[in-house]
Amino acid sequence: MSNKKGSSYCYKMKILILEDDFTLSKEIKQFLESKLFECDAVYDGILLFKQTQLSKYDLFILDINVPGMNGFEVCKKIRITDKETPILVLTAFGEISDKVTAFNNGADDYLVKPFHFDELFIRISALLRRKNNPQLTDEKIKIADLEINLTESIVKRNNLEIILSPKEYQLLILLAKAKGKSVSKQVIADTIWEYNIETNFNTIEVYINFLRKKIDKDFDVKLIHTRTGFGYFLKAD
């Protein structure tokens, strides 16, 4: 929705909230509206998709344990047709396996309940800032037979396309841009999981293993390496 002021218009960022706790849903909606966002809320995963047919949203906030279709399934289905709109998972499920599932299904961030509203606002602001300020470049990164097209976000090895989740792709780009230098777990956490105080180094190890299975497993030349005590680096053997 646009607000008219004189002859100019101010666009309000629009957020869709999936949360079946009506009290919490109302509190989140009121808080975000106080920050000048426009918000709609649904309590059912199936209803979320009906709502997206009525309006376009700039960000999704998804609880996991909801009726109709759970948050993991909703996230995965959104990503089939929409690769760009940020998704923040907001849930009481705090296990690493839950976080990995969420990120693997296309989530951009993960916040565990209970949470502070100020942190929620920081996370949302960071996601929207990255969405609205993309790095426009036609640059391609090549390492051995690995090719990363930064414009189209396409990764290929030996001319075969490799499908990565958003977090896997960000991690690969971070390693590739280091040009063979080691990238520490702390730098990875600070860069990719910005503001995410829930992230720990075990999560990073899990994602490195994901990348190795997709980038290296089926190829003789291994590109992703560990330098004990220093971190990870990307380089042909």
CATH number for the domain that contains residue 166: 1.10.10.10
Same domain, 120 and 94: yes
Strand order in the sheet with 59-62: 38-42, 14-18, 59-62, 87-91, 109-112
pLDDT of residue 83: 84
pLDDT digits (tens, 9 = 90+) for 81-134: 888 899 999 999 888 888 888 988 989 889 999 999 999 999 898 888 877 665
Domain total in the chain: 2
What b/e string do you get for 177-191 counting C-beta neighbours within 10 Å, with b at 16 or more? ebeeebbebeebbee
Give the pLDDT band (50/70/90) at residue 179. Answer: confident
Give the pLDDT band (50/70/90) at residue 208. Answer: very high
| Least confident stretch, 75-84, 131-140, 161-170 | 131-140
Instruction: Work out the average pLDDT over 173-177.
Output: 91
Q: Which of 83, 100, 132 is the last residue of a domain?
A: 132
The DSSP call for residue 93 is: -
Same domain, 155 and 85: no
The DSSP call for residue 112 is: E
Query: For the chain, what is the mean pLDDT?
Result: 86
Q: Which residue has the tokens 């909606």?
A: 29
Burial class (CB in 10 A: 0-12, 13-18, 19+), 234: buried
Give the pLDDT band (50/70/90) at residue 136. Answer: very low
| CATH for 87 | 3.40.50.2300
How far is 45 from 48, CA to CA, in rounded Å? Answer: 5
Omega before 86 cis (within 30°)? no
pLDDT of residue 197: 46
How far is 114 from 120, CA to CA, in rounded Å? Answer: 11
Is pTM beyond 0.85? Reply is no
pLDDT of residue 133: 60
Q: Which residue has the tokens 């690769």?
A: 83
Q: Which of 96, 116, 132 is the last residue of a domain?
A: 132
